């Protein structure tokens, strides 16, 4: 593709993501299977207009998500399978969140934010922050939780990869700050039988007992769920994990969180910060795009190793090392208490 064509491809990127969103929203990927199905039958099943449904399916086929066959029939591709509700690595929730009306609307504030230096367009658009929006809007909350579950599955795999050679032998109690339903911590407890763990989360997350992962992975006896607010105080533990938490918050807010951990932790404590780390200027990376997303949805940002080192030091910690996965996009920064 020519340089001109590559630029055009970027310009029309929103077309693709919105076509994908509509296909997911209308249930196309749960209607079509590996067996060819006529577009009119899909339309009838989903209560859609037949002619316009065919055009939507044709576009999805052009994107490689469906396979168009003779006589207006369509079947599922391996790429499209990830958009089904029942796929173990489903991206359905991610699609509905990131291309849904709320996140679509907040991006229009990007020029103004960059001009005046005030980020968080959720506040600009809705008058409150994203986490408050999850409490105010039930439909958005449901989609948000689905997306977070999808993110957790792949992110946990990346973090486990990055931590594969890490020495957990001296860690007897690991606390996962903002650990959600316990996906990452439960997987670590399965691997390291000497540890016990605490998932520290908001009560709005832990109250949904049927979604908690520790019982499902057989580590319920070694994993407790504790309600609380990391901006107030955190439980005492040997080590603390934070996966995709600090990037939500400004430097000042991160220092406050890390300082609370410092206060509650023993002298030998460690912190493990799992995030998309921004590499040098010569390296294209997803983190540099995700950083703009964070500009829109919150007060945080994606950071370099140097930036994480600085906020660690300001909260009483020292940077130890960065652990990178063999594959995947998330690295782990280790910090220990300053002596």
In a domain, 145, yes or no: no
The pLDDT of residue 72: 96
Query: Domain boundary residue among 38, 56, 87?
Result: 87
Question: What's the Cα-to-Cα distance from 137 to each of 109, 134, 142, 203, rounded to whole Å?
Answer: 21, 6, 9, 17
* Same-domain pairing of 80 and 178: no
Q: What is the pLDDT of residues 251-290, one digit of tens each?
A: 999 999 999 999 999 999 999 999 999 999 999 999 999 9
* Same-domain pairing of 329 and 191: yes
* Same-domain pairing of 34 and 177: no
Q: Which residue bears the tokens 């994993």?
A: 223
In a domain, 317, yes or no: yes
Residues in a beta bridge with 321:
334
The HSE-up count of residue 331 (CA atoms within 13 Å, CB side) is 18
* Same-domain pairing of 168 and 256: yes
**CATH code: domain of residue 29:** 1.10.10.10
Candidate list 103, 133, 247, 276, residue with the active-site label: 247
Query: Domain boundary residue among 87, 105, 123?
Result: 87
pTM: 0.91
In a domain, 280, yes or no: yes
The pLDDT of residue 339: 67
* Same-domain pairing of 224 and 321: yes
Tell me the two tokens of residue 159.
Answer: 């973090």
Q: What is the pLDDT of residues 290-320, one digit of tens each?
A: 999 999 999 999 999 999 999 999 999 999 9
In a domain, 224, yes or no: yes
In a domain, 117, yes or no: no
* Same-domain pairing of 50 and 176: no
* Same-domain pairing of 297 and 187: yes
* Same-domain pairing of 82 and 157: no
- 234 and 174 Cβ atoms separated by less than 8 Å: no
Question: What's the Cα-to-Cα distance from 7 to each of 12, 60, 142, 288, 290, rounded to whole Å?
Answer: 9, 21, 36, 18, 20
The residues of the chain scoring below 50 in pLDDT are none
How, if at all, do strands 270-275 and 331-337 pair? antiparallel
Domain span holding position 266: 152-337
Query: Domain boundary residue among 87, 118, 135?
Result: 87
In a domain, 244, yes or no: yes
* Same-domain pairing of 71 and 211: no
In a domain, 108, yes or no: no
- Backbone torsion region of residue 35, taken as left when φ is above 0, otherwise alpha when ψ lies between -120 and 50, otherwise beta: beta
* Same-domain pairing of 36 and 170: no
Domains in the chain, number: 2
* Same-domain pairing of 284 and 185: yes
Among 313, 278, 271, which Cα is nearest to 294's? Answer: 278
Active-site residue, 173 included: no
In a domain, 143, yes or no: no
**CATH code: domain of residue 227:** 3.40.50.150
* Same-domain pairing of 194 and 81: no
Residues in a beta bridge with 69:
73
The pLDDT of residue 70: 94
Q: How far apart are CA 82 and CA 96, in angstroms?
A: 13
Q: How far apart are CA 118 and CA 157, in angstroms?
A: 34
- 307 contact partners, CB below 8 Å, separation of at least 6: 251, 278
């Amino acid at each position: 593709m020519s340089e001109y064509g590559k630029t055009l491809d970027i310009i029309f990127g929103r077309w693709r993501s919105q076509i994908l969103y509509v296909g997911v929203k209308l249930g196309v990927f749960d209607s079509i299977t590996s067996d060819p199905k006529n577009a009119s039958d899909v339309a009838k099943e989903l209560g859609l207009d037949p002619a316009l449904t065919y055009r939507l399916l044709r576009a999805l086929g052009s994107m490689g998500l469906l396979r168009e066959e003779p006589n207006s029939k369509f079947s599922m591709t391996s790429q499209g399978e990830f958009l089904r509700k029942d796929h173990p690595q489903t991206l359905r929730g991610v699609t509905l969140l990131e291309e849904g009306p709320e996140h679509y609307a907040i991006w229009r504030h990007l020029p103004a934010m960059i001009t005046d230096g005030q980020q968080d367009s959720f506040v600009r658009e809705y008058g409150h922050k994203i986490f408050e929006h999850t409490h105010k809007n039930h439909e958005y909350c449901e989609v948000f939780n689905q997306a977070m579950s999808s993110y957790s599955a792949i992110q946990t795999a990346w973090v486990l990869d990055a931590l594969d050679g890490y020495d957990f032998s001296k860690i007897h109690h690991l606390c996962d700050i903002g650990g959600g339903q316990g996906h990452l911590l439960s997987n670590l407890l399965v691997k390291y039988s000497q540890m016990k763990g605490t998932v520290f989360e908001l009560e709005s997350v832990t109250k949904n007992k049927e979604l908690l992962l520790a019982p499902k992975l057989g580590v319920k006896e070694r994993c407790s769920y504790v309600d609380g607010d990391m901006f107030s105080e955190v439980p005492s533990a040997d080590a603390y994990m934070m996966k995709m938490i600090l990037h939500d918050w400004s430097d000042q807010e991160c220092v406050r969180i890390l300082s609370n951990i410092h206060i509650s932790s023993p002298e030998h404590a460690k912190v493990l910060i799992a995030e998309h780390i921004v590499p040098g200027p010569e390296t294209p990376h997803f983190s540099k795009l995700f950083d703009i997303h964070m500009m829109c949805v919150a007060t945080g940002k994606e950071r370099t190793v140097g930036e994480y080192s600085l906020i660690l030091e300001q909260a009483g910690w020292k940077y130890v090392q960065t652990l990178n996965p063999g594959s995947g996009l998330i690295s782990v920064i280790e910090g220990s208490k300053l002596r």
